[in-house]
Amino acid sequence: MKIIVDADACPKTALQICMKLGRKYGVPVWTVASFNHNIESDHHLTVGSDSQEADLKVLNLAEKGDIAITQDWGLAAMLIGKQVRSLSPTGREYRPDNIDFMLEERELKAKFRRAGGRTKGPRKRTKEDDRDFYNNLEALLV
């Protein structure tokens, strides 16, 4: 088992939690990010800045039984197909029973934006997000 972090958009506190829990449970943490990011990790893979390049590297690195951290719902759906457990940096687990709804919601919002509408961006990260992420990641590691 390994933890794979899509580090291009992963909050620093979530990455620190991954490192801490990885050390605690003896699970290696792999980070993947474009060369535009400065990530310190024992196992870091740098990719180019092309669209989806980090996602493809995460997908190719992931194996059944791994845990992936990503904000990308499309990547999470593909990882679920490989039997990889996936969490958002706020601790929400992407599961077969919720991913279809999330992808449909994403498509509806994208369609709304293409038509000129505006949607809200993500809210500011909170201490509760850190706590939830820690607890949910630890539950997957135990």
- What is the per-residue pLDDT for 16? 95
Q: Can you give the pLDDT at residue 8? A: 84
Question: What Rg do the C-alpha atoms of the chain give, in angstroms?
Answer: 15
Cα gap 102→125, rounded to integer Å: 20
pLDDT at 113: 87
pLDDT score at 79: 96
- pLDDT of amino acid 83: 96
> 27: domain range?
3-141
pLDDT at 20: 97
Residue 124 backbone zone (phi > 0: left; psi -120 to 50: alpha; other: beta): beta
The number of distinct structural domains making up the chain is: 1
Which CATH number belongs to the domain containing residue 63 in this structure?
3.40.50
pLDDT at 105: 84
pTM for the model = 0.85
Q: What is the reported pLDDT for 25?
A: 97
CB atoms within 10 A of CB 102: 17
Q: Which residues of the chain have pLDDT under 50?
A: none
The pLDDT, as a whole number, for residue 104 is: 82
pLDDT for 109 equals: 85
Pairing outcome for strands 29-34 and 85-87: unpaired
